[in-house]
Amino acid sequence: MTTTLEHKAPVIKHEGGGLARHQNFLTGLIGGVAGAFIAWAISHHLLAQDVRTTSDAVAVLTGCGWIVGFWFGIGALNAPFAWLIGKDQTRKDQLYYAGEDQGTKRYWKYCTDHKVVGVQYIVMTMVLLGAGGILAMAIRTELIVPGNHFVDQQVYNGFIAVHGMLMILALIVAVAGPWGNFVVPIMCGAKDMAFPRLNALSLWTLVGAAGLLLTTLAVGSLTMGWVVLAPITDQAAVGMDFFALAILVFTVSTTVAGVNTICTVFTMRTKGMTLERLPIMVWGAIIAAALGLYAFPYFSLVEALQILDRTFSTSFFIGNGGGTGWLQANLFWLMGHPEVYVILIPAVAALFEIAAVMARKPVFSYRTAVAGMVGLAGLSILVWAHHMFTTGWAPTLGGPFMVTTELISIPTGLFFLVLIGTLWRGNIWMKLPTVWMFGFIANFIIAGITGIYLSDIPIDNQLHGTMFVTAHFHYVFVGSVLFGAIAALAFWYPKVTGRFLDEKLGRISFWLAFIGVQVTFLSMFISGLRGMPRRYASYSFIFEHTNFLTTIGAYMIMAGMLVLMAAVIYCWNHGEPSGSNPWHANSLEWLVSTPPPLENFDVLPVITEDPYNFEKEMVLS
Amino acid sequence: MTNSNENKKSLKSFYWLWAILTVLGVAASLYAPGYLMPKSMSQSMHLSILTMVVFSVAAAPVAAGVYAAALYILRNWTHKGDTVPAAGPAFRESGKVVITWTLTSILLTVFLLIWGLGALAADGAGSTSNPLVVKVVGQQWVWSFEYQGANGTTIMSNDLYVPKGREVLFHVTSLDVTHGFWLPQMGIQVDANNDTTTDLRVTPNKLGTFDVRCTQFCGLNHAFMVTQGHVLTPSAFTTWLNAQPARS
Amino acid sequence: MNHTKAIGIALASVLLGGGALALAGYSLASATPHQTAQKCVPNPTQAGHCTLTISSYPDSLAGEHGTTGGAHPDWVSYMNQDLSVPANTVIDVVVNQYDGGEKLNNIFFDQVMGTVGNVATYDGVTMSKVSPDHVAHTFTLRGYPGIDGQSGKRLFVNVPLPANEGDNAVKIGSGEYPKPLVVKFSFKTGSKGVYQWNCEYPCGSSRVGQFGFAMSSYGYMSGTLTVE
């Protein structure tokens, strides 16, 4: 069972590619910095110096300079300009852009091969999770004992906001980025995605947005939570403008990716691949993409209005100017609630896939799985104001939003039905993906139930704004989504690298993370129940024991993540070889070689059944 | 068939596990909310704690079922050894299971909704016509309270004093950013918004001190925007009110 | 991979990664400017009393932010912000007020609250409240039993500081100021605790309440008072 790992092949000079032959991440950075500097210099000199809004306007223009310069430098704009002047891409150009024969260099470039984009998303997810995780450690260190002065409260307030945004970004792409790109097109029987250049654009735009977000830390940061409620944003330093721009840029990335995914699945499925023969993972990808296309424009809108308020002194969200902070809150949560399901659904779909393969049985009630995901996405559009029960905005709407929010427990419950039904009476292969999946099941039930508490207004009147809420959504994001994302990583890692993610290291990491999650967030629930509000830089002594436990648990989770990172890096080149179908699964990505050929299939396969018949092992003929 | 007898027999241990975990969950649900949450000083808080108990008791069999199923699966159906596991039984559908599950979850949700809407109505009902009116002003990072004194004067205080047994109507506003006016022992909160007034009603039913905490992030010293409240007997409250200097 | 190797890699990654994080955290903590708290001076003639002298300036040139006034020389500032006083003592506070002022935005703060006798002396005149029309700053101290991990005595002290209308006559640091308006008041501390104080007459940026810039940055108009 030998595999030649293509990415170690010597680089052969080819024609094609044009300017892109000289462009990569480094030229992108240079372009971005140059663009930012030029924009700063021009705006700094042209705008009146003594006006309050000038520094905000300069910041926004500098950020725009960064992203446009970055796009130029990385090569994102080459093809559109070539098209404008009548020079279409030749086949050789397309193959160059797809990274043919470029070895590892192609991972640093604007590469249109969906498999390369998938690996780049793995790296971005780890970078964002890592940066957010470092901030989490700083936050918990500040809160380890009451009255700690590790950092002062201004720095601390900045940390919690940027931690939140980085982690949200990381989780939006955690499953849909790597696996929505690497695996989903192959699962459909396609040679690449519908719009390969847009695929590269979505990744590199995320990199640009991340750059803007990380800059906020250096320029006064974001000191009002990632939810950036108005009107306190009016008091924010210049970091707020970089944040708002980062969101506008990120929405470009996610919109482009969503459109790409949906078009690929609906127009590029191979012959015989009916919608019901698709692996369930693909359904998760398109449902999440569709929901994201609905939700993220609200985020762009609200941040654009925040920028207008800050740079042009408009009053969309300023009470004494005729606007209201409630408008900001509504627009934000119209995005914010569907967005958590954009994060959750790909992870759940990946787990359905893993459950079927590891239990050696079909997905239980495939149609219920699809209906559950569609129902969840649809209902999520109607629940946003449960984040606003205590704002005093619309007391009469409390009842209706309570109804819609509690109804969400029904499609969520169906997820448990499908998972447990798939595993029931199976022949369960206890490998790393399975282990993390069981961790998901244990954590997600706690996440779901505590959400139901908060959806009930008499309880929310007590628990809103307390650490109970923080513990609830950390059970969702860390306990459930992150565990699902790691399960997906362990599952598809052999397809990307040809090697297993080491079982022993993976188990050490799992137990550290799993026990860490319980210690951290169960004690955090108790802090909240006892009366500790959230976003507090310091707290009363009655909360000291639970906070101490929470910090110890957080350190455990970090230890688990460090071990996992060591495993991912070490096993990439030194792990146990896996062959191209280590799990003996039947979906198309496992039937191609490892790593898959540049355009996945020499001959497009014809599909006659779904991939859940484990009685026989399929091969590509 | 012997298979289904076998299946029925082995499922008994699953049901036992489910039952035991449910009992543990119900026991925790009855005890934990009242123990952990701040001591109740109003009917609203009592209702809040009671609702936590009811929701926890209702959720206990659901959580117990999921844990029991996961543990049962891990106990009975994991593949042992290093070989590739053979295919499991290929059952793809069971209308009975899906319908039972969905119906149960709908019934449970409807029950929770009826309770929740009922509690919401109970909380909102019973407003008296002569509440004590207190204006709550939030400013970064201090709460101040305004009362009507004798002869149309205004009394201002940093501590919140309320009489026991009389409904208090809070008119809550902010002079700058949005704050969260929360009385943990009373089980109520509402945001203090700039340029708007939001209302909150509660009837304290126990003497003693309580906290006033800010739950909506409001800047540098958000964590220190805390003050103290006191529930006094009506006569002690009147004495206090008359002793305060008039502010305007 | 055998057990020993796995555990070895796991330990190495936790120790190295954790160590790197700890180092980064330590550098961050040391880099954040922490002032040494200004201690109050025990009164040699009156037992159980301690004197604390602070000043309020219209800018940051008086010396605490460096000779050039630091990053924001035009921001109003107190000197010092971090204060340390002993427990169970009467603290006699002397404030040298150098800044001009305007109409107070929230008249709640025009009254002296929480001091001994609920009064303060302004250039020798004892008053329980000032005119809200000419206020520069307030000294508002708060702390609740159990905040910041201590179950010390609950404190709420508010002393409005009237505007100083004098002409510039004194040079302190690299700034020029009028003769100070001297405000004196006393309050009693209980057992150990940490309290926060800040000025409650906002004059910073922002159309919403003017708590931006100096008002919401640590080190200008807000500080910590530690009772130890």
- A423: nearest Cα among B9, B105, B89: B89
Q: Is the domain of A64 the same as that of A125? A: no
**Contacting B residues, span 18-77, partner chain C, CB-CB under 8 Å:** none
- B52: nearest Cα among B187, B245, B144: B187
Please tell me the distance from the alpha carbon of residue B47 to that of residue B27, in angstroms, as a whole number: 19
State the pairing for strand pair C193-198/C222-227. Answer: antiparallel
Please tell me the distance from the alpha carbon of residue A97 to that of residue A75, in angstroms, as a whole number: 10
Q: What is the DSSP string of C115-161?
A: SGGG-EEETTEEESB--TTSEEEEEEEEE-TTGGG-----EEEEEEE
Q: Is the domain of C41 the same as that of C74? A: yes
Domain that holds residue B162: 132-243
Q: Is the domain of A327 the same as that of A409? A: yes
For the beta sheet containing C135-143, the strands, ordered from the edge strand earlier in sequence to the opposite edge, are C38-39, C83-85, C222-227, C193-198, C135-143, C155-162
The tens digit of pLDDT for each residue in A10-19 reads 555 557 777 8
Q: Which two three-digit tokens encode residue C203? A: 């004059």
Do the chains contact at A151 and C32, CB–CB below 8 Å?
yes
**Contacting A residues, span 137-166, partner chain C, CB-CB under 8 Å:** 137-138, 141, 145-147, 149-155
Q: Is the domain of B162 the same as that of B199? A: yes
Q: Is the domain of A169 the same as that of A67? A: no
Do the chains contact at B117 and A399, CB–CB below 8 Å?
yes
| B175 inside 8 A of chain C by CB | yes
Q: Is the domain of B110 the same as that of B170? A: no
The pLDDT, as a whole number, for residue C46 is 84
- The residues near B11 (Cβ < 8 Å, ≥ 6 apart) are none
Q: What is the mean pLDDT of residues B125-131?
A: 78
| A235 inside 8 A of chain C by CB | yes
Do the chains contact at B89 and A361, CB–CB below 8 Å?
yes
Q: Is the domain of C12 the same as that of C66? A: no
**Interface residue of C26, C216, C220 to substitute, partner A, most A CBs within 10 Å:** C216
Amino acid in position C178: P
Distance from CA of A355 to the nearest CA of B (A): 12
Q: Is the domain of A231 the same as that of A309? A: yes
Helix (H) / strand (E) containing C225: strand C222-227
Distance from CA of B23 to the nearest CA of C (A): 37
> Could you tell me how many helices (H) and strands (E) chain A has, helices first?
22, 0
Q: Is the domain of B146 the same as that of B238? A: yes
Q: Is the domain of B143 the same as that of B233? A: yes
Q: Is the domain of C6 the same as that of C83? A: no
Q: Is the domain of A167 the same as that of A45? A: no
Q: Is the domain of A293 the same as that of A349? A: yes
* Average pLDDT, consecutive stretches of 10 residues, N- to C-terminus, chain C (228 residues): 87 91 82 74 86 86 73 79 88 89 86 90 90 89 62 82 84 82 90 83 77 75 84
Please tell me the distance from the alpha carbon of residue A507 to that of residue A515, in angstroms, as a whole number: 12
The pLDDT, as a whole number, for residue C147 is 47
Size of interface A-C (CB pairs under 8 A): 112
Q: What is the mean pLDDT of chain A?
A: 91
The pLDDT, as a whole number, for residue A135 is 92
The pLDDT, as a whole number, for residue A322 is 87
Partner residue opposite A153 with nearest CB, options C18, C207, C218: C218
Please tell me the distance from the alpha carbon of residue A472 to that of residue A464, in angstroms, as a whole number: 11
Partner residue opposite A368 with nearest CB, options B38, B98, B117: B98
**Contacting B residues, span 183-222, partner chain C, CB-CB under 8 Å:** 194, 211, 219-221
Bigger pLDDT: B42 or C169?
Answer: B42
Burial of A557 (0-12, 13-18, 19+ CB in 10 A): buried
- A169: nearest Cα among A199, A134, A214, A139: A214
The pLDDT, as a whole number, for residue A475 is 97
The pLDDT, as a whole number, for residue A13 is 56
Distance from CA of B241 to the nearest CA of A (A): 29
**How many other β-carbons are positioned within 10 Å of the β-carbon of residue B221?**
25
The long-range contacts involving A590-596, CB below 8 angstroms and separated by at least 24 positions, are A590/A495, A591/A618, A591/A619, A591/A620, A592/A186, A592/A620, A593/A3, A594/A3, A594/A494, A594/A495, A594/A496, A594/A497, A594/A498, A595/A5, A595/A6, A595/A7, A595/A115, A595/A495, A595/A496, A595/A497, A595/A498, A596/A115, A596/A186, A596/A495
**Contacting B residues, span 74-93, partner chain A, CB-CB under 8 Å:** 74, 77-79, 84-93
| Chain B, nearest residue to A318 by Cα | B194
Partner residue opposite C146 with nearest CB, options A542, A566, A567: A542
Please tell me the distance from the alpha carbon of residue B55 to that of residue B57, in angstroms, as a whole number: 5
Q: Is the domain of C23 the same as that of C83? A: no
The tens digit of pLDDT for each residue in B161-175 reads 999 999 999 999 999
Q: What is the mean pLDDT of residues B216-221?
A: 89
Do the chains contact at B139 and C210, CB–CB below 8 Å?
no
Distance from CA of A620 to the nearest CA of B (A): 20
> pLDDT at residue A528 above 70?
yes
> pLDDT at residue A205 above 70?
yes
Distance from CA of B205 to the nearest CA of A (A): 17
Q: Is the domain of C195 the same as that of C156? A: yes
> pLDDT at residue A5 above 60?
no
Q: CA C155, C157, C161 angle in degrees (round to 5)?
A: 160
CB contacts, 8 Å: A459 with chain B: 48, 51-52, 55
Total domain count, chain C: 2
Helix (H) / strand (E) containing C226: strand C222-227
The tens digit of pLDDT for each residue in A402-412 reads 999 999 999 99
Q: How many CA atoms lie within 13 A of A605 on its CB side?
A: 22
Q: Is the domain of A67 the same as that of A137? A: no
CB contacts, 8 Å: B102 with chain A: 410, 413-414
Please tell me the distance from the alpha carbon of residue B41 to that of residue B212, in angstroms, as a whole number: 13
Do the chains contact at B66 and A320, CB–CB below 8 Å?
no
- Would you give the DSSP letter of residue A106? G
| HEC sequence for A177-233 | CHHHHHCHHHHHCCCCCCCHHHHHHHHHHHHHHHHHHHHHCCCCCCCCCCCCCCCHH
Q: Is the domain of C27 the same as that of C47? A: no
Q: What is the DSSP string of C40-88?
A: PEEPSSSTTEEEEEEEEESSSTTTTT-TT-TT-TTS-EEE-SSEEE-SS
Amino acid in position A510: F
Q: Is the domain of A561 the same as that of A441? A: yes
Lowest mean pLDDT among A102-106, A147-151, B153-157: A147-151
Q: Is the domain of B237 the same as that of B167? A: yes
CATH number, domain containing residue C198 = 2.60.40.420
What distance lies between CA B207 and its chain's CA centroid? 22
CB contacts, 8 Å: C144 with chain B: 211, 226-228
The pLDDT, as a whole number, for residue B167 is 93
Q: Is residue A72 part of a domain?
A: yes
Backbone angles phi, psi at C77, to 5 degrees: -155, 155
The pLDDT, as a whole number, for residue A247 is 94
Handedness of CA A509, A511, A514, A518 (dihedral sign): negative
Q: Is the domain of C26 the same as that of C130? A: no
Distance from CA of B224 to the nearest CA of C (A): 7
Total domain count, chain B: 2
Partner residue opposite A502 with nearest CB, options C6, C14, C211: C6
Q: What is the mean pLDDT of residues A342-350?
A: 97
Q: Is the domain of C90 the same as that of C167? A: yes
| Chain B, nearest residue to C128 by Cα | B245
Q: Is residue A231 part of a domain?
A: yes
**Has the ipTM of the complex gone over 0.90?**
yes
| B163 inside 8 A of chain A by CB | no
Bridge partner residues of B160 (DSSP): B229
Lowest mean pLDDT among A73-77, A242-246, A343-347, C73-77: C73-77
Q: Which two three-digit tokens encode residue B135? A: 């204006």
CATH number, domain containing residue B227 = 2.60.40.420
> pLDDT at residue B154 above 60?
yes
Report the Cα–Cα distance between both ends of chain B, in Å, rounded: 89
Q: Is residue B178 part of a domain?
A: yes
Q: Is the domain of C50 the same as that of C159? A: yes
Q: Is residue B221 part of a domain?
A: yes
CB contacts, 8 Å: A513 with chain C: none
The pLDDT, as a whole number, for residue A2 is 47
Q: Is the domain of A33 the same as that of A159? A: no
Q: Is residue A404 part of a domain?
A: yes
Q: Is the domain of B236 the same as that of B185? A: yes
Q: Is residue B67 part of a domain?
A: yes
The pLDDT, as a whole number, for residue C228 is 81
Q: Is residue A612 part of a domain?
A: no
A239-267 and A54-74 are packed helices; what angle lies between their axes, rounded to 10 degrees? 40
Q: Is residue A433 part of a domain?
A: yes
The pLDDT, as a whole number, for residue B2 is 43
> pLDDT at residue A221 above 80?
no
CB contacts, 8 Å: C208 with chain B: 176-177, 194
- The residues near A73 (Cβ < 8 Å, ≥ 6 apart) are A23, A27, A28, A29, A30, A31, A32, A34
| HEC sequence for C154-190 | CEEEEEEEECCCCCEEEEECCEEEECCEEEEEEEECC
Q: Is the domain of A350 the same as that of A444? A: yes
User: What is the pLDDT confidence band of residue A50, given thresholds at 50, 70 and 90?
Assistant: low
Q: Is residue A482 part of a domain?
A: yes
- A232: nearest Cα among B174, B178, B220: B178
- The residues near B147 (Cβ < 8 Å, ≥ 6 apart) are B132, B133, B134, B135, B154, B155, B156, B157, B241, B244
A: neighbours with 3+ CB pairs under 8 Å?
B, C
Q: Is residue A515 part of a domain?
A: yes
The tens digit of pLDDT for each residue in A233-279 reads 888 888 899 999 999 999 999 999 999 999 999 999 999 999 999 99
Do the chains contact at B176 and C208, CB–CB below 8 Å?
yes
Residues of C with CB under 8 A from a CB of A: 1, 3, 6-7, 9-10, 12-14, 17-18, 21, 24-25, 28-29, 32, 34, 144, 146-151, 194, 204-209, 211-213, 216-218
Q: What is the mean pLDDT of chain B?
A: 90
**Contacting A residues, span 438-477, partner chain C, CB-CB under 8 Å:** none
Total domain count, chain A: 2
| HEC sequence for chain B | CHHHHHHHHHHHHHHHHHHHHHHHHHHHHHHHHHHHCCCCCEHHHHHHHHHHHHHHHHHHHHHHHHHHHHHHHHHHCECCCCCCCCCCCCCCCCHHHHHHHHHHHHHHHHHHHHHHHHHHHHHHCCCCCCCEEEEEEEECCEEEEEEECHHHCEEEECCEEEECCCCEEEEEEECCCCEEEEECCCCEEEEECECCCEEEEECECCCEEEEEEECCCCCCCHHHCEEEEEEECHHHHHHHHHHCCCCC
Do the chains contact at C216 and A154, CB–CB below 8 Å?
yes
Q: Is the domain of B67 the same as that of B145? A: no
Peptide bond into B141 cis (omega under 30): yes
B: neighbours with 3+ CB pairs under 8 Å?
A, C
Computed on alpha carbons and rounded to an integer, the radius of gyration of chain B in Å comes to 27
The tens digit of pLDDT for each residue in B89-120 reads 888 889 999 999 999 999 999 999 999 999 88
pTM above 0.95, yes or no: no
The pLDDT, as a whole number, for residue C148 is 44
Q: CA C156, C157, C163 angle in degrees (round to 5)?
A: 145
Q: What is the mean pLDDT of residues A580-587?
A: 93
Q: Is the domain of B64 the same as that of B101? A: yes
Please tell me the distance from the alpha carbon of residue A327 to that of residue A124, in angstroms, as a whole number: 33
Residue C219 in contact with residue C33, Cβ under 8 Å?
Answer: yes
- A541: nearest Cα among A556, A551, A531, A553: A531
- A67: nearest Cα among A33, A40, A21, A19: A33
C: neighbours with 3+ CB pairs under 8 Å?
A, B
Domain that holds residue A482: 114-591
Bigger pLDDT: C215 or A59?
Answer: A59
A432-455 and A467-474 are packed helices; what angle lies between their axes, rounded to 10 degrees? 150
- A284: nearest Cα among A336, A350, A363, A337: A350
> pLDDT at residue A542 above 70?
yes
CATH number, domain containing residue A201 = 1.20.210.10
The pLDDT, as a whole number, for residue A111 is 93
Amino acid in position A511: W
List C-alpha distances in Å: A136 to A449, C26, C70. Answer: 25, 15, 30
| B228 inside 8 A of chain C by CB | yes
Domain that holds residue C116: 35-227
The tens digit of pLDDT for each residue in A318-329 reads 888 888 999 999
* Matching residue, tokens 């590892």: A104
Residue A209 in contact with residue A249, Cβ under 8 Å?
Answer: yes
Q: Is the domain of C11 the same as that of C75? A: no
- C206: nearest Cα among A412, B175, A267, B133: B175
Q: Is the domain of A67 the same as that of A125? A: no
